[in-house]
């Protein structure tokens, strides 16, 4: 029997018929892609009414059409700002939990992980948390990094399991004191075949650089723009995305040789990838770097900063070009020297690497297996 947050009890579902509530404080960028791949397949496994997504109402437009138009049940909370949004998430979480009474709560990102782990736990059901990049990696101030690391360590005891999206994220979790039995690595994955679209119209003799992601400080778009500024006769840039967390900054204002395209659908992003020469990922920190995997699927060479999960995906330069994080001069040197012949060397090699390691079918099977193990272990 399972006890709800209102004190009533109802019988547990079988493992095969499990109901999953996904809780997110943002669905912009890579997290949205991850959810599309995972939830649409979970819908096939568990059936309509058994996959619920609880997100900010003003982030609904970030959902990809495959997810937004599916039979996944959507629940919303208001997010006028980061902190008021967390307060509203806390207020609505009890109501949503009691309405659906899930077997699994799967929290995504720091805010959702904070709320779900601080809430009183029901006697049955399991709580899974995925940080999608540790918060303590993101702060520039050492005192805040220590505080966030301590918070993650303490709250890890309140989750049944933590999913690390890369070996790097797993290792960092162990370093701050998370119990090895509480955390495991399940690499991100995407559909094996990209959307069937024609390449975007991008007629330019210069080296075509593509950036995809949030325009916030973490993703380092300002680094790319500064690196490319003196190379306007050699390179051109298209940046897909927008600000989400950080306020708008003059560092990412429009400039010669750079176009800002806003958020795009998965099909539109694929079309841009099919036209570009290089995907540049100048992140200052990165839990995984799903957009690199999307580029590999399109046989688009990747140039990424040597941080976090990007190191893993590109295997320190074996499957893509790498440069030091936050290093404008190193990126500028790469952009000024790389040749089309060098880029061609990486296309097929990176694609094979994708097929072996980063498909959505593997991702979904591993997460389903984790749910099963946790649910079986938690039954009397």
Instruction: State if pTM tops 0.75.
Output: yes
List beta partners, residue 235: 207
- Inside any domain, residue 373: yes
Go through the chain and tell me how many residues it has. Answer: 380
Does residue 158 share a domain with residue 254? no
pLDDT tens-place string over residues 326-376: 999 999 999 999 999 999 989 999 999 999 999 999 999 999 999 999 999
| Cβ density class 250-260: b for 16+ within 10 Å, e for less | eebeeeebbeb
Token pair in block for residue 143: 């005192």
Does residue 244 share a domain with residue 102? no
Does residue 274 share a domain with residue 312? yes
Does residue 330 share a domain with residue 318? yes
pLDDT tens-place string over residues 149-163: 999 999 999 999 999
- Inside any domain, residue 98: yes
Does residue 211 share a domain with residue 331? yes
Distance of alpha carbon 216 from the chain centroid = 14
Instruction: Give the residue ranges of DSSP H helices in 77-119.
Output: 82-100, 109-118
Does residue 121 share a domain with residue 24? yes
Does residue 320 share a domain with residue 218? yes
Does residue 177 share a domain with residue 215? no
pLDDT tens-place string over residues 65-96: 889 999 999 999 998 877 888 999 999 999 99
Specify the pairing of strand 9-10 against strand 2-3. Answer: antiparallel
Contact 59, 28 (CB under 8 A): yes
- Inside any domain, residue 104: yes
Q: Which of 118-122, 144-148, 216-220, 260-264 has the weakest average pLDDT?
A: 118-122
- Inside any domain, residue 199: no
Contact 306, 316 (CB under 8 A): yes
- Inside any domain, residue 163: yes
Does residue 365 share a domain with residue 350? no
Does residue 29 share a domain with residue 167? yes
- Domain total of the chain: 2
- CATH label of the domain that carries residue 280: 3.40.50.2000
- Inside any domain, residue 197: no
Contact 46, 38 (CB under 8 A): no
Q: State whether the Cα torsion 244-168-331-257 is positive or negative.
A: negative
Q: Phi then psi for 57, rounded to 5 degrees?
A: -60, -35
pLDDT tens-place string over residues 86-136: 999 999 999 999 999 999 999 999 999 999 999 888 777 999 999 998 888
Q: How many CB atoms lie within 10 A of CB 345?
A: 11
Host domain of residue 326: 207-357
- Inside any domain, residue 215: yes
- Inside any domain, residue 52: yes
Does residue 219 share a domain with residue 180? no
Q: Phi then psi for 321, rounded to 5 degrees?
A: -85, 145
User: Angle between the 360-377 and 30-46 helix axes, to the nearest 10 degrees?
Assistant: 60
Largest CA distance in the chain: 69
Does residue 166 share a domain with residue 74? yes
């Amino acid at each position: 029997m399972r006890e709800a947050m209102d004190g009533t009890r109802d019988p547990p579902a079988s493992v095969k018929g499990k109901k999953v509530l996904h809780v997110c404080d943002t669905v912009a960028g890579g997290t949205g892609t991850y959810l599309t791949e995972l939830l649409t397949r979970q819908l096939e496994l568990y059936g309509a009414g058994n996959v619920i997504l609880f997100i900010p109402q003003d982030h609904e437009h970030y959902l990809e059409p495959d997810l937004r138009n599916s039979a996944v049940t959507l629940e919303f909370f208001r997010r006028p700002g980061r902190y008021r949004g967390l307060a509203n998430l806390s207020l609505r979480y009890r109501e949503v939990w009691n309405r659906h009474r899930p077997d699994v709560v799967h929290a995504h990102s720091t805010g959702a992980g904070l709320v779900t782990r601080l809430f009183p736990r029901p006697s049955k059901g399991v709580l899974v948390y995925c940080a999608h990049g540790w918060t303590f990696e993101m702060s520039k101030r050492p005192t805040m990094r220590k505080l966030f690391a301590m918070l993650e360590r303490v709250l890890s005891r309140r989750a049944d399991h933590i999913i690390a999206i890369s070996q790097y994220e797993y290792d960092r979790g162990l370093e701050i004191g998370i119990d090895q039995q509480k955390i495991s690595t399940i690499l991100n994955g995407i559909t094996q075949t990209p959307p069937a679209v024609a390449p975007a119209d991008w007629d330019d003799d210069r080296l075509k650089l593509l950036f995809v992601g949030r325009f916030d400080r973490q993703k380092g778009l300002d680094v790319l723009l500064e690196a490319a500024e003196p190379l306007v006769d050699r390179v051109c840039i298209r940046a897909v995305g927008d600000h989400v967390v950080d306020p708008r900054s003059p560092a990412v204002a429009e400039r010669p040789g750079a176009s800002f395209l806003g958020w795009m659908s998965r099909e539109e992003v694929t079309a841009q990838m099919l036209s570009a020469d290089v995907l540049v990922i100048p992140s200052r920190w990165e839990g995984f770097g799903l957009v690199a995997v999307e580029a590999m699927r399109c046989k688009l060479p990747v140039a990424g900063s040597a941080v976090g999960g990007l190191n893993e995906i590109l295997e320190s330069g074996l499957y893509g070009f790498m440069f030091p994080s936050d290093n404008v001069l190193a990126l500028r040197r790469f952009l000024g020297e790389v040749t089309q012949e060098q880029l061609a060397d990486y296309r097929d090699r990176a694609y094979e690497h994708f097929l072996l390691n980063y498909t959505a079918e593997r991702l979904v099977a591993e997460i389903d297996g984790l749910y099963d193990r946790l649910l079986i272990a938690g039954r009397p």
